[in-house]
């Protein structure tokens, strides 16, 4: 069983901001799967999340694997509360938890899948580490364009990260966002169908 959690903030006003890229990827993944299953999000107060349960036909498992998709309703900085509740109920080990989140240290359009390590300043990931009492889970890091060395836009926001991540994407950026969402969906599909190392090899930005 896998638990895949997209990080973001609930509410209409946050839907299209940079910080909600984790939600966006997971929503697009479920839409890609839904035509077959007609699965939708259910509000589960006991998990403080919107949840969808699907089954994935994995080549590696050679059988249907249950996959729990979740979007916490706790707001970003308390995401760990929802992840902990979900992991305990479904008895999912940390190494089978995949967190999809925005990453300010990767330029827009870039993606890096990695296992473990620090939160690198991401409050949502930090909350998950604190709640699980371990950093040994997978992260799908989706670049939102904040690169101190390469992105001139980011340089104007140094010291004001909160303002930057709560902004929407500009018209010029939307084509990159669309491609990144597609890559994120394909990366999840590849990781489920084959294994996560295959997804890393294929989708990690060099």
Q: Tens digits of per-residue pLDDT, 48-61?
A: 999 999 998 877 66
**HEC letters along 18-67:** HHHHHHHHHHHHHHHHHHHHCCCCEEEHHHCEEEEEEEEEECCCCEEEEE
| Three-class DSSP category at 112 | strand
The per-residue DSSP string of 113-176 comes to EEES---TT-HHHHHHHHHHT---SEEEEEE-S--TTT-HHHHTTTT-HHHHHTSB--TTTHHH
Active-site residue among 19, 101, 122, 157?
Answer: 19
Told to judge if 101 belongs to the known catalytic residues of this protein, a careful annotator would answer no
Rounded distance, CA 25 to CA 7, Å? 10
Q: What is the pLDDT of residues 117-168, one digit of tens each?
A: 999 999 999 999 999 999 999 999 999 985 454 444 444 444 578 788 888 8
We report the CATH number of the domain holding residue 109 as: 3.40.50.1470
Q: What are phi and psi of 73, to 5 degrees?
A: -105, 15
Chain segment 63-87, per-residue pLDDT in tens:
788 999 999 999 999 999 999 999 9
Give the Å distances, CA to CA, from 156 to 107, 151, 164: 15, 9, 9
Regarding predicted confidence, which is higher, 166 or 6?
A: 6
Tokens, residue 56: 């994935």
Burial of 18 (0-12, 13-18, 19+ CB in 10 A): buried
Domain boundaries, position 24: 2-203
If one counts the domains in the chain, the total is 1
């Amino acid at each position: 069983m896998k638990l895949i959690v997209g990080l973001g903030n609930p509410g209409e006003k946050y839907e299209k901001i940079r910080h909600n890229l984790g939600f966006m990827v997971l929503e697009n993944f479920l839409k890609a799967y839904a035509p077959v299953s007609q699965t939708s999000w259910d509000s589960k107060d006991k998990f403080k999340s919107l949840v969808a349960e699907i089954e994935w036909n994995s080549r590696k498992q050679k059988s249907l694997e249950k996959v729990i998709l979740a979007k916490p309703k706790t707001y970003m900085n308390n995401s760990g509360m929802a992840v902990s509740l979900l992991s305990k109920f479904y008895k999912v080990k940390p190494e089978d938890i995949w967190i999809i989140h925005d990453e300010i240290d990767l330029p827009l359009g870039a993606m890096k899948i990695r296992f473990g390590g620090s939160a690198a300043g991401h409050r949502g990931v930090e909350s998950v580490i604190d709640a699980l009492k371990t950093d040994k889970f997978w992260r799908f890091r989706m670049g939102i364009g904040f690169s101190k060395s390469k992105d001139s836009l980011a340089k104007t926001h140094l010291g004001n990260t909160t303002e930057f991540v709560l902004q929407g994407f500009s018209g010029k950026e939307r084509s990159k966002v669309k491609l990144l969402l597609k890559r994120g969906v394909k990366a999840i599909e590849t990781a489920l169908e084959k294994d996560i190392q295959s997804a890393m090899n294929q989708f990690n930005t060099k």
